[in-house]
Chain A
Amino acid sequence: MHSSLPLMVSLPFVGALLAAWSGTQGRLWSAWVSGGVALASLGLLFGPALAVMQGETLLWQATWVPQIGLDLGFRLDGLSLLFALMILGIGLLVVLYARYYLADQDPMGRFYAYLMLFMGAMLGLVTSENLIQMAIFWELTSITSFLLVSYWRHRSEARQGARMALAITGAGGLALLGGLLLLGQIVGSYQLSDVLAAADSIKASPLYLPALLLILLGVFTKSAQFPFHFWLPHAMAAPTPVSAYLHSATMVKAGVFLLARLFPALSDTAAWTWIVAPVGLATLVLGAYTALFKHDLKGLLAYSTISHLGLITLLFGIGTPLAAVAAVFHIMNHATFKASLFMAAGIIDHEAGTRDMRRLSGLWHYMPYTGLLAMVAAAAMAGVPLLNGFLSKEMFFEKTVFMAELTDSAWLLPVFATLAGAFAVAYSLRFIHDVFFGGAPTELPRIPHEPTRWMKVPVEILVVICVAVGILPGLTFGPLLYLAAGATLQGPLPEFSLSVWHGFTPALGMSVLALLGGVAIYAVRRPLFRLHEQSFGRFDARALFIALESALLGLAAWLDQRLHRPSLQRMLAVILLAAVAVVVAGLWPSLRDGTLSGPLPLTPPDPVSIAAMLCLVVGAVGTVVLHRERWTALVMLSVVGLIVALAFVKLSAPDLALTQLSVEMVTIVLLLLALYFLPKHTPRESSLPRRLRDLTLAGAVGLTAAALVWAVLTRPYQSIAGWFLDNSVPGGGGTNVVNVILVDFRGFDTLGEITVLAIAAVGIYMLLQGLRLDAPRADAQGRPWSWDTHPLILATFARLLLPLALLVAVFILLRGHNLPGGGFIAGLVVAVALVMQYLANGITWTRPRISGQLHPLIGIGLLLSTATGLGSWYFDRPFLTSAHGHFHLPLIGDLELATAMLFDLGVLMVVVGITLVILIRLGELDALEYPPARGRRRVMAARAQLRRGGGH
């Protein structure tokens, strides 16, 4: 019914893709697309907004993961409407502004894509009905703001600022998630409506305090409240449109939005007041004070924003309904004047080439129009009458006086409020006076001039709003304020009057005092600057953060060092010992009682099995004894593999035998390729005690495993094999139970396994990329390799074998569902057949004949398998349900076909792709394939390049 809500939220995400794509078409396309998307979202908001104006609260819900209480839910009431309007309205202006702000060499598509992502995340956050969904969007805003702040990624301060912002807001987001989960636990529902309705039970709950603390951590980090405020000034390394959007109107307001959203549920307790109000007050004063001493225009604005956010937090902390109304009003006013000020600062930076107020002066002569706009906005920030900042600030003063009258100890409140107000006046004055007046500029990088017409339009619009609201508050922001404040309180609105003149009240006196005090502070700024530089100015929160960060990383490295020694042997020894300890502890009772053997009688041994076992023993021991003769050890190892395959045959597991055989073959080829690059002999590396230790360990592991197997095999047990045997044909349409399990009953496992395989292959591919090894030119005795690298007979017969081998692979694949075989084995057969071509004919001959790259095969295979699984959704069946039927095909005969076969085909492709990627990359490492001199030169050149690349 209100499906325009989710549509409105998802539209910017689609817009991000479009903007990124259109950015490749032409520089300005992405700006047009983003503007269009923002407009369309605004259009979608129109209908619901009308309904909200009528007093409705719109809800749209869909189940998502109901088991964990996560549903998709959107809600539009007065508060969300206010924020959605700010996000989309100011967003639209920022889109227009950024189009003129960004330089030619800045990639537009990327900027607008990030901006749209952020817009969507922010919209989702303010319209979330579900708390977990809200936390998700909250995190999204952190991530997208990270991307936006680090947009100029070639600048180190942008990267550092973005990282700091992400670390702090991300940590806060984690705390917030915990808090919201606790809140949901208390209420028994994650729906915002339920939470808001359950205020009393929340405050009575013992979990209230932990939940409140965690949520407030999220709020304070996001809204840059003391002591987490220091990330915001460093985020000023972002392009100015980003600051105008994120750091005035939206992102930093997310914290206070949450305060407003949960105000009815959490406020009105001692804990709330005593945490929120002091933090807000400290931030208010600290921000206002520090702002005056910032020489960077944007730094001043950042601290001013911190201060104003502190003001809003303080108002929420005071906790009376009227204070909440004032807070909502100030949210609106601050967004308008601060966004316009950021844009004005951006224009100054853009046209004058610097933002340093020590270098700027007298710009009034060059850009009077911009100067006028900036002046009005700065006056609003200072709280000059007839502008919007004055109204909400006076409401704030009024509340502090009210609090002071209520309690004796709160007399500090109006004092600090006035002080902060005075500093606000002072820094606003500095913003205007230092930049636009004070003599002609002397050391500007370029001669400033007015910006293009359209760059000023967003500022104009915002400044006009400032003035209009300041003169006629009731007619402009009035209706929206009533709606938003009503939604914040979730109850009747208190009486308040939105007018410019309230008579001679204490608040008016405070305003006048602040204005006069501000002028006075500005007049004595020079000694103040010196004083500040010798006192507070020395304290650098960033250095503290960096020290903390490096201490944390140091701790992690230290822990890692303790737990994770970089010795493979030691790690292996620890793991094996642990395994032995666990098994021995488990078996200990039966070992003590002598009941290790179960009731089942032993099968009498037959001579063939004994012979095979002896071979196995000889092979295993031979591998260990001869491990320094690598080639011989490899032959011994292959004996082991072969005997295992025969054992599978004997135990009626033909599928496993086939798999084992083909894996064995591929492994041997792989090892041969690897051995080629290694010396023929391994030097003796371990001392005698060490070898004795290893022998003991290996013996212990072997005996433990044997005891375990003995205990299991001598006991009767009910396996699940019977179920699979019974259900293989009716459930999976195949008589080969092994294959049916792989592609049907446990198809999801197989999908996961081939995905892991594919990831491993990508890893190997990347590791081997660009690596060149110099293969030995001769063997250990110094004999050169045979001149005949690709013998004619081998080459010819290998080509002859290829079609036959492929035929066998198809046969194995097709019959796999009913008889031994399947995609995995068939894939290995194909891979072996293709590798054979490489080995017999050489890479130079083979590469042009096997078309294209082979690694896309991995992706295609994965996609095919997944698509087969998804296909069953189309028929309203669970993922990976297979359909099967009996078909009669001409020429081939009767066939039992199942969709699982498509899945198996995907498996085959993945296996072929992986094997070939690994083997061929390994084979290509050989520098011999290149003319020797050139190969060596290339290696030298690449190394020199690396050195140069690492140097700067």
Chain B
Amino acid sequence: MTEPLSSTLTSPLWSLGVEILVSLLIVIGAAFTCLGSVALLRLRDFYSRLHGPTKATTLGVGSLLIASSIFFSAQGPGLSLHEILVALFLFITAPVGAHLMAKAALHLRVRGQSGLPPDALLDGQGVAQPDPQAAPRPVPRPASRIDADPLRDAD
């Protein structure tokens, strides 16, 4: 790290800019998170409500993470990259979570605004199902310990 850059980073103007940027991102993130919560409260059916929190986690927390990254990069000696990992985890888990919830709701036949898909589709007919006989089964273990116990009395 060269001397001029370091002095630039500590200059009042620079830090003011960073602060404004960070504040802006935090406000955006907070707004999305709040919006997500309101959506969870206000939207009409389960499937719509599912959208609210997922937006909040991706956009809302995403903005907050960018803010965090900028703030700590400006403060510390190096780039703060933890946030990328956090974002990666979030972006992987949030959609998967939403997907599983939607699947569960469909399985339980939770009705949405536009009704349900036909039963045949919900029951997985026409979908390539895993054949239960084809999958490798665990090898049966030897019979229970009790009958093979050498310590058992013969008499």
Contacts A783-B108, A797-B96, A942-B144 known; 7 new A-B pairs at CB < 8 A: A154-B155, A770-B141, A791-B103, A797-B92, A804-B88, A843-B138, A844-B138
Given A801-B89, A844-B135, A945 and B96 touching (CB < 8 A)?
Answer: no
CB-nearest residue of chain B to A786: B107
A787 near B96 with CB under 8 A, answer no
Contact A931 B89 (CB under 8 A): no
Q: Mark A771-793, 1 if CB is under 8 A from B, else 0.
A: 00000000000010011100101
What residues on A are CB-neighbors of B95 within 8 Å?
793
Asked if B147 contacts A945 (CB within 8 A), the reply is yes
Asked whether, in the complex, the Cβ of A156 is within 8 Å of the Cβ of B153, the reply is: yes
B144 touches A946 (CB 8 A): yes
Contacts of A769 in B (CB 8 A): 145
* CB nearest to B155 among chain A residues: A156
Q: How many residues from A make CB contacts under 8 Å with B? A: 33
Task: Write out the residue numbers on chain B whose beta carbons fall within 8 Å of the beta carbon of A788.
Answer: 103, 124
Q: Provided the pairs A154-B154, A791-B100, A808-B85 are in contact, do residues A931 and B147 lie with their beta carbons within 8 angstroms?
A: no
Q: How far is the CB of A589 from chain B (nearest CB, A)?
A: 50
A848 on the interface (CB 8 Å rule)? yes
A321 to chain B, nearest CB (A): 52
Residue B129, interface by CB 8 Å: yes
For the complex, is B13 an interface residue (Cβ under 8 Å from A)?
A: no
B117 at interface, CB cutoff 8 A: no
Shortest B25–chain A CB gap in Å is: 22
What is the distance, in angstroms, from A559's C-beta to the closest C-beta of chain B?
29
Bound together, the chains give a CA A155 to CA B155 distance in angstroms of 7
| B137 A844 Cβ-Cβ under 8 A | yes
**Does A949 lie at the interface of the complex (its beta carbon under 8 Å from any beta carbon of B)?**
yes
Give residues in A with beta carbon < 8 Å to B: 153-156, 159, 769-770, 783, 786-788, 791, 793-794, 797, 800-801, 804, 808, 843-844, 847-848, 929-931, 938, 941-942, 945-946, 948-949
Residues of A within 8 A of B103 (CB): 786, 788, 791
| B4 on interface, CB distance cutoff 8 Å | no
B5 within 8 A of A: no
Interface residues on chain B, number (Cβ under 8 Å) = 34
B145 CB contacts on chain A under 8 angstroms: 769-770
A848 and B96 within 8 A (CB): no
CB distance from A751 to the nearest CB of B (A): 31
Find B136's partner among A770, A808, A844 (CB 8 Å cutoff): A844
Q: A791-B100, A801-B92, A946-B144 are in contact. Are A931 and B155 (CB under 8 A)?
A: no
Residues on the B chain within 8 Å of A931, using CB: 132-133, 137
On whether the beta carbons of A945 and B143 are closer than 8 Å, the reply is yes
Output the nearest chain B residue to A808 by Cβ-Cβ distance.
B85
- Given known pairs A154-B154, A942-B143, the reply for A800 and B133 (CB within 8 Å) is no
Does B99 belong to the interface (CB within 8 Å)?
A: yes
Tell me if B123 counts as interface (CB < 8 A to partner A): yes
Chain B residues with CB under 8 A of A843: 138
Asked if B154 and A949 sit within 8 Å, CB to CB, the answer is no
**Is the CB of B118 closer than 8 A to any CB of chain A?**
no
Give complex CA distance A931, B129 in Å. Answer: 16
Tell me, yes or no, whether B12 is within 8 Å of chain A by CB: no
Given the complex, which residues of B lie within 8 Å of A787, measured CB to CB?
123-124, 129
Taking CB as reference atom, which chain B residue is nearest A769? B145
Return B78 CB to nearest CB of chain A, in Å: 10
A945–B88 Cα distance when bound, in Å, is 53
B16 interface residue, CB < 8 Å from A? Answer: no
* Beta-carbon contact of B92 and A800 below 8 Å: yes
Give the distance in Å from the alpha carbon of A159 to the alpha carbon of B100 in the complex: 60
Chain A residues near B124 (CB-CB < 8 A): 787-788
Bound CA–CA A847/B136 (angstroms): 11
- Using known A-B contacts A786-B103, A788-B103, A847-B138, determine if residue A770 contacts B144 with beta carbons closer than 8 Å: yes
CA of A941 to CA of B108, assembled, Å: 36
**Chain A residue at minimum C-beta to C-beta distance from B152:** A949
Is residue B41 contacting chain A, with contact meaning CB distance below 8 A?
A: no
Please tell me if the beta carbons of A938 and B129 are within 8 angstroms of each other in the complex. no
Asked if B96 and A794 make an inter-chain contact with CB atoms under 8 angstroms apart, the answer reads: yes
When distances are taken between beta carbons in the complex, the residues of chain A under 8 Å from B1 are none
Within 8 A of A (CB), among B76-129: 85, 88-89, 92-93, 95-96, 99-100, 103-104, 107-108, 123-124, 129
Chain B residue nearest to A154 in the complex (CB): B154
Q: Find out whether the CB atom of B140 lies under 8 angstroms from the CB atom of A938.
A: yes
Let me know if A929 and B138 touch, CB within 8 A. yes
Asked whether A793 lies within 8 Å of B137 as measured between CB atoms, the reply is: no
Q: How far is the CA of A848 from the CA of B135 in the complex (A)?
A: 12
**A791 to chain B: which residues have CB within 8 Å?**
99-100, 103
Q: Report the bound CA distance from A844 to B93 in whole Å.
A: 23
Give 6 closest A-B pairs by Cβ, nearest first.
Answer: A787-B124, A154-B154, A770-B144, A786-B107, A949-B147, A797-B96
For residue B132, which residues in chain A have a CB less than 8 angstroms away from its CB?
931
A808 to B133, CA, bound (A): 38
Assembled-state Cα–Cα distance A603/B89 (Å) = 37
Contact A793–B96 (Cβ < 8 Å)? yes
Report the separation of the CA atoms of residues A797 and B146 in the bound assembly, to the nearest whole angstrom: 42
Q: Which residues of A contact B154 (CB under 8 A)?
A: 154
Q: How far is B82's CA from A808's CA once the two chains are assembled, in angstroms?
A: 10
User: Please, which residues of chain B bring their CB within 8 A of the CB of A848?
Assistant: 136
Chain A residue with Cβ nearest B82: A811
A154, A800, A801, A929: the one contacting B153 at CB < 8 Å is: A154
Contacts of B151 in A (CB 8 A): 153
For B100, what are the chain A residues with a Cβ–Cβ distance below 8 Å? Answer: 791, 794
Quote the shortest CB–CB distance from B151 to chain A (angstroms).
Answer: 8
Q: What A residues does B143 contact at CB under 8 A?
A: 941-942, 945
Is B89 a contact of A794 with CB atoms below 8 Å?
A: no
Residues in A whose Cβ lies below 8 Å from that of B144: 770, 942, 945-946
Q: What CA separation (Å) do A897 and B147 show in the bound complex?
A: 52
What's the least CB distance linking A489 to chain B, in Å? 49
Bound Cα distance A797, B152 (Å): 50
Q: Can you report 25 A-B residue pairs in the complex whose CB atoms are below 8 A from each other?
A: A153-B151, A154-B153, A154-B155, A156-B153, A159-B153, A770-B141, A770-B144, A770-B145, A786-B104, A787-B124, A787-B129, A793-B95, A793-B99, A794-B99, A804-B89, A844-B136, A844-B138, A848-B136, A929-B138, A931-B137, A938-B140, A941-B143, A942-B144, A946-B146, A949-B147
Per the bound structure, the CA–CA distance linking A787 and B130 in Å amounts to: 9
Neighbouring A residues of B152 by C-beta, 8 Å = 949
User: How far is B154's CA from A952's CA once the two chains are assembled, in angstroms?
Assistant: 8
- Chain B nearest CB: distance from A705 CB in Å? 34
CA gap between A945 and B143 in the complex, in Å: 9
Cα–Cα, bound, A714→B153 (Å): 64
| Cα separation A848 to B95 with both chains bound (whole Å) | 28
Q: Closest chain A residue to B136 by CB distance?
A: A844
Q: Which residues on A sit within 8 Å (CB–CB) of B88?
A: 804
Give Cα A804 to B103, complex, Å.
Answer: 26
Q: Collect the chain B residues with CB atoms within 8 Å of residue A945's CB.
A: 143-144, 146-147
Q: Are A804 and B85 touching (Cβ within 8 A)?
A: yes
Q: A791 CA to B85 CA in the complex, in Å?
A: 25
Give Cα A788 to B106, complex, Å.
12
**Distance (whole angstroms) from the CB of A826 to the closest CB of chain B:** 15
Distance in Å: Cβ of A803 to nearest Cβ of chain B: 11
Which residues of chain B are within 8 angstroms of A948 by Cβ–Cβ distance? 147
Q: Which one of A786, A791, A844 has the highest number of Cβ atoms from chain B below 10 Å of its Cβ?
A: A786
Contact mask for chain B residues 16-58; partner A; CB cutoff 8 A; 1 contact, 0 none: 0000000000000000000000000000000000000000000
CB distance from A720 to the nearest CB of B (A): 33
* Residues of chain A with a CB closer than 8 A to B129's CB: 787
Separation of A791 and B127 alpha carbons in the complex (Å): 12
Task: Please name the residue on chain B nearest to A945 by beta carbon.
Answer: B147
How far is it, in angstroms, between the C-alpha of A783 and the C-alpha of B105 when the chains are bound?
13
Give, as a whole number of angstroms, the nearest-CB distance from B141 to chain A.
8
Give CA–CA (A788, B128) in the complex, Å: 10
